[in-house]
Amino acid sequence: MRPWETLSSEYALDVPWLRVRRETCRLPNGEIVDDYYLWEGADWVAVFALTTEGTVLLVQQYRQGVRQFAWELPGGVVNPGESVVEAALRELREETGYSAAGGEIVARMEVDPPKATFYNHLVIAHHCRPAGPQSLDRTEEIAIQTLPPTELLSWIRQGRITAQSTIACVYRALDTLGDWSPGRP
């Protein structure tokens, strides 16, 4: 197997929240594909935040793309010059008002391999506790919910959590934690 050859590349759209690149590519069999579009952006981070009480933090906010409210793990973009863990702890603090002493990266997932050039990282943060009020962006209005880890799968089965990235991160985090119990470090 061989990779595609990029013959040309230019931005078709470059606005604050969306960059789309149009490419012309040659396939290994010689066929030319015109107008192949790629979605560019900063890497994302999702935080599986375990509170000192042994629950997991979820956030709910309105999502214009699907025109409904969605339950998700706290998270957002990794800013330039920021590590994944720094971004996770910042997003946790901003969206929930909770803080954690640190976090560990447990996964780096491709968002949409054929079309997206960035990744979604999963960070598990332990011993999260309230640290003050939320510090929301102008486009955010966020409700917070805590659930025992065992209830997350029920919410997914019931269709209460439907965001693909959150579902993948929940399963990956629970798999990483294994025999999860409130006393675990």
At 67, which CATH number? 3.90.79.10
Structural domain includes residue 183? no
Mean pLDDT throughout 65-89? Answer: 96
pLDDT over 60 (residue 163): yes
- A 10 A CB-CB count for 149 gives 18
Q: Is it the case that residue 184 has pLDDT exceeding 60?
A: no
Q: Is there a single domain that holds both residue 98 and residue 13?
A: no
Q: What is the DSSP string of the chain?
A: ----EEEEEEEEEEETTEEEEEEEEE-TTS-EEEEEEEEE---EEEEEEEETTS-EEEEEEEETTTTEEEEE-SEEEPPTT--HHHHHHHHHHHHHSEE-S--EEEEEEES-TTTB--EEEEEEEEEEEE-S-----TT---EEEEE-HHHHHHHHHTTS---HHHHHHHHHHHHHH-S--TT--
Residue 150 has pLDDT above 90, yes or no: no
Same domain, 140 and 58: yes
The tally of domains found in the chain comes to 2
Residue 74 located in a structural domain: yes
Residue 7, pLDDT > 80, answer: yes
Question: What value does the mean pLDDT take over residues 54-59?
Answer: 96
Residue 182 lies in a domain: no
In-domain check, residue 158: yes
Q: Are residues 105 and 161 in the same domain?
A: yes
pLDDT at 180: 54
pLDDT in the model for residue 182: 47
Mark whether 101 and 127 lie in a shared domain: yes
Residue 127 has pLDDT above 60, yes or no: yes
Residues 28, 54, single domain; the answer is no
Question: What pTM did the predictor assign?
Answer: 0.90
Percentage of the chain with pLDDT > 70?
96
Residues 129 and 109 in one domain: yes
Average pLDDT over residues 73-80: 96
pLDDT(183) > 70 = no
- 28 & 89 share domain: no
Report if residue 133 sits inside a domain: yes
Range of the domain at 112: 44-177
Residue 184, domain member (yes or no) = no
